[in-house]
Amino acid sequence: MERPQPVSFGEAFRFWLKLGFISFGGPAGQIAIMHQELVERRRWISEKRFLHALNYCMLLPGPEAQQLAVYLGWLMHRTWGGVVAGLLFILPSLLLLILLSWIYLSFGQVPAVAGLLYGIKPAVTAIVLFAAYRIGSRALKNGLLWTLAALAFLAIFALHAPFPLIVLVAACLGAVGGRIAPDKFAVGGGHDAAKQSYGPALIDDDMPIPDHARFRWPHLLKIAAAGLILWGGVIGFLCGQYGWNGALTQMGWFFTKAALLTFGGAYAVLPYVYQGAVEHYHWLSATQMIDGLALGETTPGPLIMIVTFVGFLGGWSQLPLGSDALLIAGVVAAVVVTYFTFLPSFLFILAGGPLVESTHGNLKFTAPLSAITAAVVGVILNLAVFFAWHVFWPQGFEGRFDGIAALIGATALLTLFRYKAGVIPVIGACGAAGLLLLFIKPWLAQQGIFL
């Protein structure tokens, strides 16, 4: 089998653009698509090099699938290759979520849209609970890590502890525990070893490190300086235009912090986003947050793109550009939030990639990161409880329990667990159930049956 021909920038551009439109299924699905296309079918990169890059991305805060796209694009076509791959991975989702956010605010009370959302919300609750199970089954390998997860759940559920504090305490406990009982914090990754070869690859195991991927201090300092300029320039402009306490400036600052706390994926950082966007800044309501997650689950790209929805609603409600520019304010806020959320991901890869390429060894989770991952399971479980509370008791515990919504959620959960169904089919089926319920309710009422 012959080695593939060198890939032009244009060919890579077309692939990353296509990936941006088909990257459904969360990080696992997105990574699987890249592996199938780049390792198995096109053979642009070998299995070991692919997994080596993935191990690094899984250690970082931020969406690992998007960071993996940046890494592979950078490895093949230098800095601009990484920038283009990362941007195209999120651009379709950004545009689609801006459109859906506008439709939601303008037509969200239309019966058909409300019916769809009624069916999708219980499905989202089931999906979050299933995410806690999936991460927990991989991360909680012993009683000590289970205890950390339980303590994290109690801290955020009962004590309302801020998410950054939970991450910090977990990291400290992991650092201490790693010295006292290192075997308890040794996490075996699922990506540690390559299982097979698919033939000679364009970037193969035995090939030397490309010249642009070699570590050089001037390159690292250049990337760091560019990052400071790209971050400080925009936050400085927003501060000068709207003041430090202006909505757009605070969005930039808040989502910079959120971007640095996304260990464990989007589900882990959502409680932090909820605490800030809903409870502190009041950019949107709790119900709107759940609706945003429902919309985020139905679009391609990283799930953390829900921040685009949060930004759009924040811009719409806070009126940073005046009451006559609601749509423009929503779009600007959505772009600002997305920019500050993903900027660190690009910098981590472009700055750290040469260091990773110089090792060619498997990167392993550290003890602090193992503890953080365990705590994240408890935080995600709290998120599932939060969603269940607002979806099944929409008027609070004093109000009526919504048995139909609970039945839809239980069915979705059973489908995910028992039949291993994908997220998109489950959401589609539950949305259809909500729409069907909207149409049959009048008929059932005529029969004396009230739901």
What are the boundaries of each domain within the chain?
Answer: 9-191+218-440
Q: Where are the alpha helices (DSSP H) in 360-397?
A: 367-392
Which residues lie across from 203 on neighbouring strands? 45
Which residues lie across from 45 on neighbouring strands? 203
Query: Measured between alpha carbons, how far is 73 from 71 in angstroms, rounded to an integer?
Result: 5
In this structure, what is the dihedral angle of CA atoms 24, 30, 36, 41, given to the nearest 10 degrees?
A: 80
* pLDDT score at 449: 66
Query: Measured between alpha carbons, how far is 376 from 131 in angstroms, rounded to an integer?
Result: 11
Give 330: exposed, middle or buried? Use CB within 10 Å, 0-12, 13-18, 19+.
Answer: buried
* pLDDT score at 167: 80
* pLDDT score at 28: 64
CA dist list (Å): 21 to 15, 33, 198: 10, 12, 26
* pLDDT score at 363: 37
| pTM of the entire predicted model | 0.79
Side-chain-side CA neighbours of 197 within 13 Å: the count stands at 10
* Residue segments in the chain with a per-residue pLDDT below the cut of 70: 24-26, 28-29, 55, 186-197, 262-265, 267, 359-366, 369, 396-397, 444-445, 447-451
Helices 403-418 and 367-392: crossing angle, nearest 10°?
Answer: 140
Query: Measured between alpha carbons, how far is 392 from 396 in angstroms, rounded to an integer?
Result: 9
Count of other CB atoms within 10 angstroms of residue 217: 7
Query: Measured between alpha carbons, how far is 347 from 34 in angstroms, rounded to an integer?
Result: 21
pLDDT digits (tens, 9 = 90+) for 243-257: 999 999 999 999 999
Residues 6+ apart with CB under 8 A from 360: 52
Cα-Cα-Cα-Cα dihedral sign, residues 236, 240, 244, 248? negative
* pLDDT score at 447: 67
* pLDDT score at 396: 67
* pLDDT score at 362: 40
